[in-house]
Amino acid sequence: MAANGVRLSRRQADFEVESAGPWLLRLRTADDIFVKVADIHGVGRTKAGLPALGQAAGALDWPRAFGILRAVREIAERGTFDVVASVEGRPSYNRFAVEQSIGRAVAPVLGATFSERDGGARAGAESDFTVRAFVRDDRATIAVRLGARPLHRRAYKVSTGPGTLHPPVAAALAAIGAPATGRLLDPFCGDGTIGIEAALTHRRLTVLATDIDPLRVRNARQNAAQAGVDIQVRLADAATVTDSSAAVDAIITNPPWNQTVSPAGRMAASERGFWDVLAPVLGPDGIVCCVTDADLGVPAMMARHGWQLGLAQRIRLAGRVADVTLTAPPGRPVPGLLAGLAGWRREALAAGVVTDAGF
């Protein structure tokens, strides 16, 4: 189950696998995953080039791509499909024209029904598969989505509230901060995304998830049941969790940002940062890993309060800039990334995909 020839670029990683299988759909930190069919060159910037683009798409090696898809999941023989295009570089056509041209040309080749957009709405919500076209300047990369749905859309997230966390980001926080065993706390758990992703990654981890809002507590319980993970979910003000909880090895959390959700209860009145309030519950090697809105300036504030920063990385999240912080209380060793993650970070830095602090 190894990936070869990994090439990192902005917002994308290309790789080859010797043997495709359902394991590819468990890449929890990826937003989505596609089988590349081929690049088509000479697309041009005018509408006149679109019929040729469709023709070229129809002539690609689809049997190879579908062989890979069928190694991963079942697909109906003569099903329906939709096409989703993204277009960069200001051509005179739009994405809908690209989708129509490719969909209509490819349908007879695949023996499948093209589900066209209807007045801009997604026609293919229940498609059997999705063809993806990434058009950039003169080149179109044609691909097929490996899963039936985008990878970030988790089947377990049936109940959600405001500011719920994008699951691949929750999975990334778990990869950065969660130990394989021991105790993990998310004191602002919302719908439980972080605790659930951590529990799915580390089956022997004990996860405690708490929130001040009874609706979110109910959501988190329902989502955890859907995900088939056994996590403890309780109603609690984060400021009091430290009174009643045994020590934890990691706090991984997405505290309220004053954007969609504001701090409530004793946290609203507290002059102290959430990290200082929570510090007493950390065990001797305990760490905090969190994602916070960049406007809150959390990494700099924590550093000013003597916290040891192991990572302060800017990311884009829900249309805003956010900080991912890995840190330990004052006087403790600086927490590091696991060797595998540190290696990928070095490669991403070398490839110019991220900078030391941001993107």
Interface contacts to ligand SAM, rule CB under 6 A: 163-165, 187-188, 190-191, 193-194, 211-213, 216, 237-239, 254, 256, 261, 263-267
Residue nearest to ligand SAM (CB): 190
Spatial distance between the Cα atoms of 155 and 10, rounded to a whole number of angstroms: 27
Spatial distance between the Cα atoms of 72 and 57, rounded to a whole number of angstroms: 23
Beta strands in the chain (DSSP E): 3-9, 12-17, 34-41, 80-88, 113-114, 129-136, 139-145, 182-186, 205-211, 232-235, 248-253, 282-293, 308-317, 320-328
Helix H or strand E encompassing 252? strand 248-253
Closest approach of Cβ 270 to ligand SAM, in Å? 8
| 3-class SS of residue 126 | coil
In 163-193, which positions are buried (b, 16+ CB within 10 angstroms) versus exposed (e)? bbbbbbbbbbbbbbbbbeebbbbbbbbbbbb
- Choice between 127 and 325, CB closer to ligand SAM: 325
- Choice between 8 and 239, CB closer to ligand SAM: 239
Closest approach of Cβ 173 to ligand SAM, in Å? 9
Q: Could you identify the residue written with the tokens 């509230």?
A: 161
- Choice between 53 and 196, CB closer to ligand SAM: 196
Spatial distance between the Cα atoms of 73 and 67, rounded to a whole number of angstroms: 10
Closest approach of Cβ 308 to ligand SAM, in Å? 24
- Choice between 82 and 213, CB closer to ligand SAM: 213
Q: Could you identify the residue written with the tokens 């309060």?
A: 305
Inter-axis angle of helices 167-177 and 193-201, nearest 10: 60
- Choice between 100 and 313, CB closer to ligand SAM: 313
Closest approach of Cβ 232 to ligand SAM, in Å? 15
* 133 neighbors 38 (Cβ within 8 angstroms): no
- Choice between 150 and 163, CB closer to ligand SAM: 163
Closest approach of Cβ 249 to ligand SAM, in Å? 19
Radius of gyration of the chain (CA): 23
Closest approach of Cβ 206 to ligand SAM, in Å? 19
Closest approach of Cβ 311 to ligand SAM, in Å? 19
- Choice between 144 and 261, CB closer to ligand SAM: 261
